[in-house]
Structure 1
Amino acid sequence: MSFVDELLNNVELPKMVRIRQCFDSPEEIKEVEEKVRQEFAKPEIRNKIKAGMTIAVGIGSRGVAQIDRIATAVINELKALGAKPYGVPAMGSHGGATAEGQRHVLEKLGITEESLGCEIRSSMETVKVGELPNGLEVLMDKNAMAADGIICINRIKAHNAFTAPIESGIIKMLSIGFAKQKGADACHTYGFGQMAGNIVEMARIKVANTPFLFGIGTIENAFDQVVDIEAIPAEKLEEREKALLARSKTYFPKIMFDNVDICVVDLMGKIYSGGGMDCHVTGRACTPFMQPIASIRPDRITVLDLHEKSGGNATGMGFADFSTKRLLDKVDFPETYPNVLTSRLTQDGYVPVILANDKQAIQAAVKTCIILDGRKEARMVRIANTLHINELYISENMLEDAKANPNIEILSEPHPIIFDENNNVIDIGINL
């Protein structure tokens, strides 16, 4: 037995209670195709498309709900208007900053040439379309610039690294996603302190100097479901994105407890957040330029595994204190580091303290909390990932707080965390 084994062997873990958080959120749009059709019927959108036009449709790398259906519906509407659309990966440095890697990211999201019904043109080549007063180049995907018109599809939501009237959405995709690695690198040059201004200024230059027509923005409720889809013409982009972001934040899910010592995250990955784990849920800011929506501020964060659809990209793992060997074994560093180097968030690529298994990784969090008796005093939550937190586990000592909250439903009696023969949790992902 190693010294680490001896040190952690006697660390008892609290019993956990499964709960359901009830969020007041609008209902999901079931017929996304019909909603896309309605948006294309708006005169300010329909009149921008002429028969015979080639249209580049930008699609990103985020796990946007229903992105495969929405993208296909957009392509179909463009075809119905006589246009000749093709897809373009608009994801900055993601996919290992290679053309094939970005095509592969789309495949993992269920988006292929066969499913879209059109060609996907993937390249890392860019065209310079302007320059900011601070000297930063404004670059645009070469394949997109070859089209008669450009549109993009993206979810509008809070950004992981800065807080501003415009954060993550169409404007960010236009400025960074379409700029590929070189342009994304330029936008991040002066860090996240200037990011909010840079993305807006770059988008303005691109609207003025490229054939950008409109964006398709989505917002989601607390259950990762699409509750609105809006086609936004270029001339109204800033106005509408501000309004949709503000609305999106009112639906944002959060852990309904103020005092949490430990947050255990079963799965991290790009499909959940650009930072692998959303800071707005974990409560741990990754820069001084963002204010987490979450009220929790955990002393320790443990992440257990990396989702297979992340393709080995473990960007954001450095914001956990502890992790496991099985997560580390899945990390593809050449896939991860382009994001780290481009964003300048070096901690994104840090490797947490690695333990042999899930049990030890959770025990380490309890052991290192600055409290006398971790098992009795540590207030611990365990979530499937930072995108799905309607059901989660809380430690037994949080039960009275849960009972006092009318928006929380108790689903189980207190019980020990169940581990398999390898000391890994059995219900990884909490059935999600």
Structure 2
Amino acid sequence: MYLKVTGGSVPIDGGYDTLIPQFIKVRQVFDSTMIDDIQAKIRDEVQKKGIRVKIKPGMRIAVGVGSRGIANLGLIVRCLIDELQNLGAKPFIVPAMGSHGGATAEGQAKYLKSHGISQQSMGVPIHSSMDVIHIGNTSSGVPVLFDKICCESDLVIIVARVKPHTDFKGPIESGLCKMLAIGLGKHAGASRLHKEGFEEFHHVIPEAAKVILNKVPVAFGLAVIENAYDQTAFIEAVEASQFLEREPILLDIAKSRMPRLYFDDLDVLIVQEIGKNISGAGMDPNITGRSGSMVDQGFIAPTIQRIVALNLTNETHGNASGIGLADVTTKHLVNSIDFPVTYANGITSTVPSSCNIPLVMNNDKEAIVVAMKTCNRIRLEEIKMVWIRNTLSLEHIWVSESLIPFVKSRTHCQVCGEPQFIKFSDQGHMIPFE
């Protein structure tokens, strides 16, 4: 089901022929440490004494794989599968993505396939089901539900990216424990835990994971950390007994590798594309400073008056969760939304505002102009604007001329070119900067 937006331009003071400033390409410098040989690294991790001893010939092992946009995900999963098979095990893959993929077994299998995870590419079956088992309650009485197929396997292994969460802060955020509690809780389990509210997640997630670790034969988790350039920087096989102790340390490592925008405040941030493959929130609140949960986050991010979201990524398959964090968007983006899929996320997370539709303009040019004209306490000739492709791609950004003195004063920023005007097609769609 798709909403078709119609209508002409909304009248605004002075019309749409506003002078948009020139932009200059800027390079932001981050830690670029990465793993050169992923296959060798995974082999070494699986061969660790505490890990290898858990794998016995003939074991049916469920490998939980989520829906996050992990770099090299297909390679990482295939290397893990190969190592398990080399040890004589019989692995298979289970989607571990809560309510994503439209909260259906077919949708989740399709989502994995879009990330290169299929029976053909992995050489093992994909068993996708939304059936869960009530395996116990947390110390505060919250029911914990877990994937039925995983409960019936000999062992469970999860592949998870460890990173700061987009809706809450705590010693354990996105990673191994969340993959167990939310990802393999499937739609029912994810929905139940989200009812506790994000303000409780800092202890709900570890408590639910503790119940699972006591009830389910979880062998280990393959923790992945990426650098600021969306490259695989760190992989570690963590024994199940070490999840609660090790994950806070891994989260600190992940935070140190995160990209950011090196600005204190901005008037307009233009985001070329948002999507679930970019962030669970479409555009990462750790970058924009905006979270749909309304929980006090303390993000290290610039204060931004207006955010413009121009497009959805192809990989998000119409899921526009997080569009509510923007102030202005385009008819093109709204016409690309798959509302049932988007709303499934908003309802499950209990944050329906993340699916709210902001001001919808006919095209990119109108959207950018409206964002500029709704900023407060500025002179348009001094407006501070930044264009990014998405919140994962922050090495090369484009900034308005007014920000150049600031850029030149920062050791982590470099001016890379000459000023250019934004180019638009005849239909008013922005031609993205390189």
What range describes the TM-score normalised by the shorter chain of this pair?
A: over 0.9
User: Is 2:363 the partner of 1:357?
Assistant: yes
CA distance in 2, matches of 1:314, 1:301: 15
**How far 1:3 sits from its partner (Å)?**
4.5
**How far 1:136 sits from its partner (Å)?**
2.2
**How far 1:377 sits from its partner (Å)?**
2.3
| Equivalent residues of 2:343, 2:352 under 8 A apart | no
Map 1:32-71 onto structure 2 (within 5 A): 32-71=38-77
**How far 1:23 sits from its partner (Å)?**
1.1
User: Is 2:31 the partner of 1:24?
Assistant: yes
Distance 1:42 1:425, change over 3 A: same
User: Is 2:178 the partner of 1:172?
Assistant: yes
User: Is 2:374 the partner of 1:383?
Assistant: no
- How many pairs does the alignment contain? 427
CA distance in 2, matches of 1:60, 1:94: 9
Report Cα offsets for 1:127-166 as digits up to 9, x if no partner. 1110124432111111111110001001000000001111
Report Cα offsets for 1:305-326 as digits up to 9, x if no partner. 0001101000000000000011
**How far 1:283 sits from its partner (Å)?**
1.7
Match of 1:13 in 2: 20
* Residue among 270, 275, 282 paired with 2:276: 270
Match of 1:145 in 2: 151
* Residue among 134, 139, 145 paired with 1:128: 134
| Equivalent residues of 1:16, 1:393 under 8 A apart | yes
SS of residue in 1 equivalent to 2:266: coil
Give percent identity, aligned residues only: 41
* Residue among 74, 80, 83 paired with 1:77: 83
Match of 1:329 in 2: 335
**How far 1:257 sits from its partner (Å)?**
1.1
| Equivalent residues of 1:284, 1:292 under 8 A apart | no
| Equivalent residues of 2:9, 2:361 under 8 A apart | no
* Residue among 300, 311, 321 paired with 1:305: 311
| Equivalent residues of 1:185, 1:342 under 8 A apart | yes
* Residue among 237, 251, 254 paired with 1:245: 251
SS of residue in 1 equivalent to 2:369: helix
CA distance in 2, matches of 1:335, 1:205: 30
* Residue among 403, 417, 425 paired with 2:422: 417
Report Cα offsets for 1:50-87 as digits up to 9, x if no partner. 11110000000000111100000111111011100000
User: Counterpart amino acid of 1:377?
Assistant: E
User: Is 2:163 the partner of 1:157?
Assistant: yes
| Equivalent residues of 2:66, 2:97 under 8 A apart | yes
* Residue among 264, 267, 282 paired with 1:261: 267
**How far 1:37 sits from its partner (Å)?**
0.2
| Equivalent residues of 2:292, 2:324 under 8 A apart | no
The runs of 5 or more residues in structure 1 that have no matched partner are none
Which one is further off, 397-406 or 289-298?
Answer: 289-298
| Equivalent residues of 1:161, 1:290 under 8 A apart | no
Distance 1:239 1:133, change over 3 A: closer
Match of 1:199 in 2: 205
Report Cα offsets for 1:397-428 as digits up to 9, x if no partner. 0011111112211122222111111111112x
User: Is 2:409 the partner of 1:407?
Assistant: no
CA distance in 1, matches of 2:10, 2:60: 64
Match of 2:119 in 1: 113
Which one is further off, 229-238 or 17-26?
Answer: 17-26
User: Counterpart amino acid of 1:365?
Assistant: A
| Equivalent residues of 2:38, 2:76 under 8 A apart | yes
CA distance in 1, matches of 2:201, 2:299: 19
CA distance in 1, matches of 2:391, 2:118: 27
CA distance in 2, matches of 1:8, 1:241: 53
Report Cα offsets for 1:202-259 as digits up to 9, x if no partner. 0000000011111000111110111110000011111111111001101111011112
**How far 1:288 sits from its partner (Å)?**
4.2
Distance 1:268 1:3, change over 3 A: closer
TM-score (norm: length of structure 1): 0.96
SS of residue in 2 equivalent to 1:195: helix
CA distance in 2, matches of 1:414, 1:240: 47
**How far 1:6 sits from its partner (Å)?**
6.9
**How far 1:290 sits from its partner (Å)?**
4.8
Distance 1:365 1:210, change over 3 A: same
Match of 1:209 in 2: 215
Distance 1:363 1:70, change over 3 A: same
Match of 1:279 in 2: 285
| Equivalent residues of 1:8, 1:360 under 8 A apart | no
RMSD: 1.3
CA distance in 2, matches of 1:4, 1:43: 68
Distance 1:2 1:299, change over 3 A: closer
CA distance in 1, matches of 2:167, 2:110: 26
